[in-house]
């Protein structure tokens, strides 16, 4: 099990190097899981296939990082926040959204704009790539 899970993670990062953001699609019920998991969260099916996700998403909540909990690996990311992301494909998870400031958060909340459209981007961290989100331009 542990070895198989490693393989999923390995493939995910290999595809990121190719500029592709991959999720896992259940062959039984069609649910798309992101970040990729080994078994379908919707129906429990273990038969999952790789699919490239569109990257289109909505941000449902915005949580500013506490100053002391700011992760050093996100130092070069600029302003960011955490948020509940829902992919066009349906999966929901907590992600990192770039370009979010306290002021912007306030404006979005005041205008009742949640959920706000955003899209996935590949971010180069020390030694490997990861997936972050950018707000769509208005």
Should residue 27 be labelled a site residue for Zn ion when binding is judged by CB under 5 A? no
83 vs 78: CA distance, rounded Å: 16
β-pairing verdict for 129-135 and 92-98: parallel
Q: Please, which residue, 9 or 29, has the CB nearer to Zn ion?
A: 29
Q: Minimal CA–CA distance to 118: which of 95, 128, 110, 103?
A: 95
Query: 10 Å Cβ neighbour count for 66?
Result: 7
- Asked if 10 and 122 touch (Cβ cutoff 8 Å), the reply is no
Specify which residues 87 forms β-bridges with.
57
Question: 16, 22, 32, 40: which one contacts Zn ion (CB under 5 A)?
Answer: 40
- Pick the piece of the chain touching Zn ion (CB under 5 A) from 11-19, 25-33, 83-91, 94-102: 25-33
Q: Please, which residue, 5 or 29, has the CB nearer to Zn ion?
A: 29
**From the DSSP assignment, how many helices (H) and strands (E) are in the chain?**
2, 8
Should residue 32 be labelled a site residue for Zn ion when binding is judged by CB under 5 A? no
- 41 to 60: interface string for Zn ion, x by CB under 5 A: -xx-x---------------
- Pick the piece of the chain touching Zn ion (CB under 5 A) from 32-40, 93-101, 105-113, 118-126: 32-40
Question: 21, 22, 26, 48: which one contacts Zn ion (CB under 5 A)?
Answer: 26
- Pick the piece of the chain touching Zn ion (CB under 5 A) from 11-19, 22-30, 46-54, 55-63: 22-30
């Amino acid at each position: 099990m542990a070895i198989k899970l490693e393989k999923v993670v390995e493939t995910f990062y290999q595809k990121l190097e190719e500029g592709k953001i991959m999720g896992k699609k259940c062959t039984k019920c069609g649910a798309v899981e992101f970040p990729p998991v080994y078994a379908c969260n919707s129906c429990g099916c273990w038969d999952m296939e790789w699919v490239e996700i569109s990257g289109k998403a909505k941000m449902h909540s915005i949580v500013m990082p506490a100053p002391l909990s700011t992760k050093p690996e996100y130092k070069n990311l600029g302003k960011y926040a955490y948020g509940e992301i829902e992919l066009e494909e349906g999966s929901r998870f907590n992600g990192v959204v770039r370009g979010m400031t306290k002021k912007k958060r306030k404006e979005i909340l005041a205008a009742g704009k949640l959920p706000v459209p955003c899209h996935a981007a590949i971010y180069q961290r020390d030694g490997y790539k990861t997936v972050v989100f950018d707000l769509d331009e208005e």
